[in-house]
Amino acid sequence: MFRLRAPTTMLCKSKVVEKALSRGKVLTIDNMNPHVKNIEYAVRGPIVIRAGEIEKELNAGEKKNFTDVIRANIGDCHATGQEPLTFLRQVVGICAYPKLFEDPSLPEDAKQRADRILNSCGGRSLGSYSDSAGLTVVREDIAQYITERDGIPADPANIFLSTGASEAIRNVMKLLMTTLEGNDKSGVMIPIPQYPLYTATIAEYNAEPIGYLLDESNNWSLSLDELERSLQEAKPHCKPKAICIINPGNPTGQVLTRQNIEDIIRFAHKENLFIMADEVYQHNVYAEGSQFHSFKKVLTEMGPPYSEMELASFMSTSKGYMGECGFRGGYVELINIDPQVKAMFTKAISAKLCSAVTGQAAMDVVVNPPREGEPSYELFKTQKDTVLSQLAEKGRMVTSTFNSIEGMSCNAVQGAMYAFPNIDIPKKAQEAAKAKGMAPDFFYCYNLLESTGMCVVPGSGFGQKEGTFHFRTTILPPVQKLGEMLGRFRDFHVKFMEQYS
């Protein structure tokens, strides 16, 4: 005779269920990766979040002193009204929907470009994976573009396509990192002010940012003395590995002279630093006398030993005259990289399979646009010239307006898509900001948004010289809208100064 043990089994099951019900989260704010918590990205920070809330309030019928939000916080060209380039959209459109080859209204050069790209795709479809480095034909066209730009041969084997330039920057920076702590951490030199991608990535990778100050009094130029100062101060705390340059500058809009670039290269050689050249704004040069010089061209023309230095150069579809941010197309050219390191880089990006193939197709049009004599050339040239001439005009508008307002100054927008004006925030306003737990320039920009609907980014999100205050604004809104924006700004600033003087 035996007894059933069901009650005991039921009791055990009950305890298991109870334990499961009381189970907490495996991942909490206390045990998650601490380096992720250190990431900050100002161009999509709290003020931008508040701008989205205000838009919803306006749509719900809430009455304010303004009827719309003007987003000048991010270089998103099409979102602010820039028309897409016809040829680029035609080529990508045909690639995405090949039945358009049969459409007689589409030009033959667009069809030829699309056919060439699709021939490089598995199954002639953008929906197939590419090689991890990118489609062969696109890498070949990028190499040809660089060769024509610099007069120096480029090798497709050194070119790697990416999901926007940001991903390529992160991929290269990852190679330079260590998992060590203290003064063995990798140090990366970055300009101050800088684009927040760099501080965010450095924080995520547990590295040390080494900020070198751009000289606002000299149109945001870069001095060797400042590079030396920042590096020597950092050496006791980390192992400097690389120097990042943004040219033309973001957020400052300056364009480096060739002499400046030569000085940076000599400094990097002396200090044994890897050069990361963020050159995504290479088409955006407006000021008279300014000219884009690629780091690769200057480094090569300087000859040995400089021409043998390691360099990563980045480019994107998102900026220039294209403004195709959403396609997320980008590339990096790796120069003089150790073959074994290059093999490791290839292995690392292979784990992500490949970048978006639609973005690769868009990048191909950027580097292989219509040539003179082709059917699409005249329209393409007109659209390109119009975008760049309007950006130049808007840069002048922004600069002159900010310089005409008491308590403000703004260097000329020589290139890129932004202005970074200096604001003299009264002591009373600084005290009000402190009482609210805000940085003074955040307080200023927050009040600007609430009063006018203008969304700009505080300078503290980019880094700035201690005791100075700035904000970054794009120059992207259409001329008429930009004029309205600057009018709103002037009215706000006068009232703000009166309130806090």
DSSP assignment of 356-409 equals -HHHHHHHHHHHS-PPTTSTTHHHHHHHHHHHHHHHHHHHHHHHHHHHTSTTEE
Residue 2 has pLDDT above 50, yes or no: no
**SS3 call for 188:** strand
pLDDT score recorded for residue 180: 64
**Phi and psi of 121, rounded to 5°?**
-95, 145
Mind giving me the DSSP string for 218-284?
GTTB--HHHHHHHHHHHTTTSEEEEEEEESS-TTT-----HHHHHHHHHHHHHTT-EEEEE-TTTT-
Domains annotated for the chain, with CATH where assigned, are: 42-81+380-500 (3.90.1150.10), 129-367 (3.40.640.10)
pLDDT score recorded for residue 462: 85
Q: Can you tell me the mean pLDDT for 14-26?
A: 62
The sheet that has 418-419: what strands, in order across it? 418-419, 471-474, 457-458
C-beta of residue 208 within 8 angstroms of C-beta of residue 228: no
**SS3 call for 63:** coil
Q: Give CA–CA dist 388/353, Å, rounded.
A: 35
Residue 501 has pLDDT above 90, yes or no: no
- How many Cα atoms are found within 13 Å in the side-chain-facing hemisphere of 204? 14
pLDDT score recorded for residue 142: 97
| pLDDT digit string, tens, across residues 198-212 | 888 888 888 888 999
Distances (CA, A) of 339 to 110, 139, 147, 343, 347: 37, 19, 22, 6, 12
Place 3 in a pLDDT band, splitting at 50, 70 and 90.
very low
pLDDT score recorded for residue 301: 97
Mind giving me the DSSP string for 89-123?
HHHHHHHH-GGGGG-TTS-HHHHHHHHHHHHTSGG
β pairing state of 457-458 and 311-316: unpaired
Residues 6+ apart with CB under 8 A from 128: 121, 122, 357
pLDDT score recorded for residue 461: 81
Q: Give CA–CA dist 172/341, Å, rounded.
A: 11
Between 130-139, 174-183, 455-464, 467-476, the lowest mean confidence (pLDDT) is in 174-183
- How many Cα atoms are found within 13 Å in the side-chain-facing hemisphere of 283? 19
Residue 5 has pLDDT above 60, yes or no: no
The DSSP element (H or E) to which 479 belongs, if any, is: helix 479-500
Tokens coding 161: 């396509």
Q: Which residue has the higher pLDDT, 275 or 440?
A: 275
Residue 23 has pLDDT above 90, yes or no: no
Residue 25 has pLDDT above 80, yes or no: no
Beta bridge partners of 190: 211
pLDDT score recorded for residue 42: 52
Between 95-99, 261-265, 440-444, the lowest mean confidence (pLDDT) is in 440-444
Q: Which residue has the higher pLDDT, 118 or 45?
A: 118
Cβ-count burial 400-426 (b if 16+ within 10 Å, e if not): ebbeebeebebbbbbbbbbbbbbbebb
Q: Can you tell me the mean pLDDT for 347-356?
A: 85
**Mean pLDDT computed over every residue of the chain:** 88
Q: Can you tell me the mean pLDDT for 328-338?
A: 94
| pLDDT digit string, tens, across residues 382-415 | 999 999 999 999 999 999 999 999 889 999 999 9
pLDDT score recorded for residue 111: 97
pLDDT score recorded for residue 43: 53
Q: What is the largest CA-CA distance in the chain?
A: 104
Q: Residues 55, 60, 62, CA angle at the centre, nearest 5°?
A: 80
